[in-house]
């Protein structure tokens, strides 16, 4: 190929800069292959290596970024690169760098996936020990959800425990991978298999806190130190080992008027909220008023932790004679 002896023009330099910039999609694909990409069509997984690069390439093709860059590179090779030898050298160096990056991605991503496969179960067991007790965590079986190949990291793990009935399991979710940030649904599954646990636990709290008969506490159970508890044992032994918060109550009335709604709010604020506020961090508390056991009105109490207050606000008053009270503010003292 004959090259021109003429000096490169400013136009050639600008076109070359754009040419090098057009390699950004390939760099992003390489980065994605190593760093991974979330992919949800096959479950909660983080794809790495070749799988991640293909997914990223599909995304950039869909948004036309990759095709546009490829077309420009072909045009540059035909119309600009042949003018000067240095441009060919620059182009080959750029292409070689991309190829080298693609080659390196596979072994690097494979190491990442292998490390995660070994480390995640260990970290999950530590997380469970901190939340539910050492004895509980030492006796669980942890397995990745679904069938995942060597290029993906499971973000959901199934955990089998004797606390639940045989064949049952709960899920631990890791988001993002490699961070010690986990969430689980054990309390939801435990409550489903022991459907009276929450209600009986609430009854105990109502008795201990001397709550009026027409008020039902609605505790949220965050964790339990299970110890040597196994499914089929009397779960009442867990009441004193339960970590919970109370963010709402149900109050039963026989008919509503504007005055008795205000009285209910004042009563809860003065007699119930002080007994429960230490169980939760934020200053929001909900009151659900029921007329003959039918839900009617929702009221939120803000205790002034984050804004002016304290005050209450009616946020829903549908299906009652007081419909239209939404937004009514009730000052508290």
CA 250, chain centre distance (Å)? 29
pTM score, whole prediction = 0.70
Q: Is 42 left (phi over 0), alpha (psi -120 to 50) or beta?
A: alpha
Per-residue model confidence (pLDDT) at position 175: 63
Q: pLDDT per residue over 217-256, tens digit each?
A: 999 999 999 999 999 999 999 999 999 999 999 999 887 7
Task: Give percent of the chain with pLDDT exceeding 90.
Answer: 45
Q: Identify the helix (H) or strand (E) that includes residue 97.
A: helix 85-132
**Among 330, 227, 234, which Cα is nearest to 285's?**
330
Of residues 120 and 205, more confidently modeled:
205
pLDDT band at 106 (very low <50, low <70, confident <90, very high): confident
Q: Are 149 and 187 in contact (CB under 8 A)?
A: no
Helices of type H across the chain: 10-21, 24-35, 49-62, 65-79, 85-132, 134-137, 186-193, 197-208, 258-267, 273-276
In the predicted structure, residue 333 carries a pLDDT above the cut 80: no
**Among 108, 24, 11, which Cα is nearest to 60's?**
24
β-strand partners of 174: 182
Range name among 118-127, 165-174, 296-305 with the lowest pLDDT average: 296-305
What strand order describes the sheet that includes 37-39?
37-39, 45-47, 152-154
In the predicted structure, residue 320 carries a pLDDT above the cut 70: no
Per-residue model confidence (pLDDT) at position 111: 85
Mean confidence (pLDDT) of the chain = 85
Tokens read off for 121: 């179960």
Percentage helix, strand, coil, to 5, in the chain? 45, 25, 30
Of residues 108 and 9, more confidently modeled:
108
In sequence order, what DSSP letters do the residues of 175-192 get, joined into one string?
Answer: SSTTSS-EEE-HHHHHHH
pLDDT band at 67 (very low <50, low <70, confident <90, very high): very high
CA 213, chain centre distance (Å)? 38
Task: Round to whole Å and give the CA distance between 74 and 71.
Answer: 5
Tokens read off for 71: 């077309």
Around 202, how many Cα atoms within 13 Å sit in the side-chain half-sphere? 21
Tokens read off for 138: 């030492």
């Amino acid at each position: 190929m004959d090259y021109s002896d003429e000096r490169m023009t400013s136009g050639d330099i600008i076109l070359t800069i754009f040419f090098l910039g057009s390699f950004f999609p390939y760099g992003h694909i390489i980065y994605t292959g190593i760093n991974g990409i979330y992919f949800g069509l096959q479950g909660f997984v983080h794809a790495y290596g070749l799988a991640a690069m293909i997914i990223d390439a599909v995304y950039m093709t869909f948004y036309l970024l990759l095709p546009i860059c490829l077309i420009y590179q072909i045009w540059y090779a035909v119309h600009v690169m042949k003018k000067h030898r240095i441009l060919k050298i620059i182009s080959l160096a750029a292409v070689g760098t991309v190829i080298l990056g693609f080659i390196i991605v596979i072994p690097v991503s494979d190491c990442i996936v292998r490390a995660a496969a070994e480390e995640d179960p260990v970290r999950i067991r530590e997380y469970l020990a901190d939340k539910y007790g050492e004895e509980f965590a030492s006796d669980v079986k942890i397995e990745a959800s679904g069938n995942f190949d060597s290029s993906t990291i499971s973000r959901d793990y199934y955990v089998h425990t004797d606390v639940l009935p045989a064949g049952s399991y709960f899920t631990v979710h890791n988001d993002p991978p490699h961070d010690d940030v986990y969430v689980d649904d054990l309390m939801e599954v435990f409550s489903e298999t022991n459907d009276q646990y929450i209600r009986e636990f609430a009854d105990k709290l109502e008795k201990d806190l001397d709550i009026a008969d027409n008020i039902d506490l609605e505790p949220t159970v965050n964790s339990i130190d299970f110890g040597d508890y196994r499914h089929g044992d009397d779960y009442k032994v867990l009441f004193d080992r339960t970590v919970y918060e109370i963010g709402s109550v149900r109050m039963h009335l026989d008919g509503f008027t504007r005055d008795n709604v205000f009285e209910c709010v004042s009563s809860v604020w003065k007699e119930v909220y002080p007994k429960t506020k230490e169980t939760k961090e934020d200053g929001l508390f909900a009151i659900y008023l029921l007329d003959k056991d039918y839900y009617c009105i929702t009221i939120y109490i803000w205790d002034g932790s984050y804004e002016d207050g304290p005050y209450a606000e009616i946020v829903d008053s549908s299906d009652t004679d007081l419909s239209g009270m939404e937004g009514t503010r009730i000052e508290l003292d």
